[in-house]
């Protein structure tokens, strides 16, 4: 049986992952509204990844005999100044999520919950990839600047991103 303190923290993270999905879906809608379909695709793939993350927490809580508590999800922003501004927001958001995951790892260690500690290691690694992926687009947008040709090429490239479920099927 999972400790209540861990259960509450994991439920908070489950809800944070759902918010992340909601945020990226809002960003996808924004990119559709400015006719950047490739950027929208990138965000839709990100939405799917975040929902997969949420389900990992959901299933883990159930597996450990815990109770899943779904809470209200805050409305995400709907407008950004530019594609660069949106991706800077993605990068900042992923850094925030990394902090949340690190806090969960610390809590698992404090509570001597080794199973949760092991479970969270996947997310520690995932957050390194999430931050790198967002920062890569930020850096490319900085290089592109006001180049419409560069923006067209990046939009086309981001449109090729596809969702690949994690190999670990304990989602």
Q: Is 170 part of a structural domain of the chain?
A: no
Q: Is 107 part of a structural domain of the chain?
A: yes
pTM of the model: 0.94
Distance (Å, rounded) from C-alpha 10 to C-alpha 57? 7
Q: Is 166 part of a structural domain of the chain?
A: no
Q: What is 7-56 written as a DSSP string?
A: HHHHHHHHHHHHHHHHHHHHHHHHHHHTT-HHHHHHHHHHHHHHHHHHHH
Q: Is 165 part of a structural domain of the chain?
A: no
Q: 148 burial class (0-12, 13-18, 19+ CB within 10 angstroms)?
A: exposed
pLDDT for 158 equals: 97
For the chain, 171 residues long, give each residue's pLDDT as a single digit of tens: 899 999 999 999 999 999 999 999 999 999 999 999 999 999 999 999 999 999 999 999 999 999 999 999 999 999 999 999 999 999 999 999 999 999 999 999 999 999 999 999 999 999 999 999 999 999 999 999 999 999 999 999 999 999 998 876 444
Distance (Å, rounded) from C-alpha 99 to C-alpha 146? 33
Q: What is the number of domains present in the chain?
A: 1
Q: Is 88 part of a structural domain of the chain?
A: yes
CATH number of the domain where residue 110 is located: 1.20.1260.10
pLDDT for 168 equals: 62
pLDDT for 167 equals: 78
pLDDT for 166 equals: 84
Provide the residue range defining the domain that includes 15: 4-158
Q: Is 75 part of a structural domain of the chain?
A: yes
pLDDT for 97 equals: 98
Give the DSSP H or E segment for 82.
none
pLDDT for 48 equals: 97
**C-beta of residue 47 within 8 angstroms of C-beta of residue 25:** yes
Among 123, 134, 122, residue whose Cα is nearest residue 161 = 134
Q: Is 137 part of a structural domain of the chain?
A: yes
């Amino acid at each position: 049986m999972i400790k209540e303190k861990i259960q509450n923290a994991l439920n908070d993270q489950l809800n944070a992952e759902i918010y992340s999905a909601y945020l990226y879906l809002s960003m996808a809608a924004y990119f559709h509204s400015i006719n950047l379909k490739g950027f929208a695709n990138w965000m839709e793939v990100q939405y799917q990844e975040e929902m997969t993350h949420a389900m990992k927490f959901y299933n883990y809580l159930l597996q450990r005999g815990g109770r899943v508590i779904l809470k209200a999800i805050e409305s995400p922003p709907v407008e950004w100044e530019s594609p660069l501004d949106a991706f800077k927001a993605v990068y900042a958001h992923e850094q925030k999520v990394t902090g949340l995951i690190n806090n969960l790892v610390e809590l698992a260690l404090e509570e001597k919950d080794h199973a949760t500690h092991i479970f969270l290691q996947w997310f520690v690694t995932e957050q390194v990839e999430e931050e790198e992926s967002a920062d890569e687009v930020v850096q490319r947008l900085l290089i592109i600047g006001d180049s419409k040709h560069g923006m067209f090429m990046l939009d086309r490239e981001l449109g090729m991103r596809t969702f690949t479920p994690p190999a670990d099927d304990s989602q």
